[in-house]
Structure 1
Amino acid sequence: DNLSITSGIVSRVELTSYAHGAGELLAAQLDAAINPGNSGGPAVMRGKIVGIAFQNLPGTDNIGYVIPTPVIRRFLDDVERDAADARREGRTYDGVHGGFCGLGIKCQWTDNPAMR
């Protein structure tokens, strides 16, 4: 296997539509290509992981997006808390996270007509 490294410069940090997400979340835009199938790799600055490469801007060349480490950390903390809550309540945790990481918002299921 070969290791491919691409360098880039962050041009902005803003709310961005995630290709497979329900809304906009914080992302860093950079001038490096992230081709289909290449997402998931670490974004490194001065030897520290600062995010995960996750998508490109369709129809353009060399514009990619990185999910910043604080957003990833918040997501992982939420998943860990959800799993701990399930254990404490005697439920099996299915690994489905019902919130929007980084925004402090939790989803409300609409199975109950009063919640619609």
Structure 2
Amino acid sequence: MAHYILTGAGFSRNWGGWLANEVFEYLLGCQEVADSAPLRTLLWRHQRINGFESALAEVQRAYVLNPNEHLDALRGLQAAIERMFSHMNQHLFTRAWEFHQDRERSITGFLAAST
């Protein structure tokens, strides 16, 4: 059976991962969002609810109901979110992910054993 590590929001913070407010600011600065008043308004509306995830869900629901009208918003928000995760991942891959020096209790050892 495969092993999984489940983490909550903020888990990666110790290694430079972004918190919700930093993700929000990043997305507002993305060209797709900066150039779209509806996307900016959407992100602001969802900022304190469930963040970009609920904003994306709203755009996805709107797209299902009317694809022609909401395709650009869906593509724009998805592109901004993908780029945000790509930048965060690039940063996180350069970090050491260890809590403990004992190989038996290390994250690297755990992940290697689960493959």
TM-score range, shorter chain: under 0.3
- RCO greater where, 1 or 2, for CA within 8 Å and sep 6 or more? 2
Query: Structure 2-normalised TM-score?
Result: 0.27
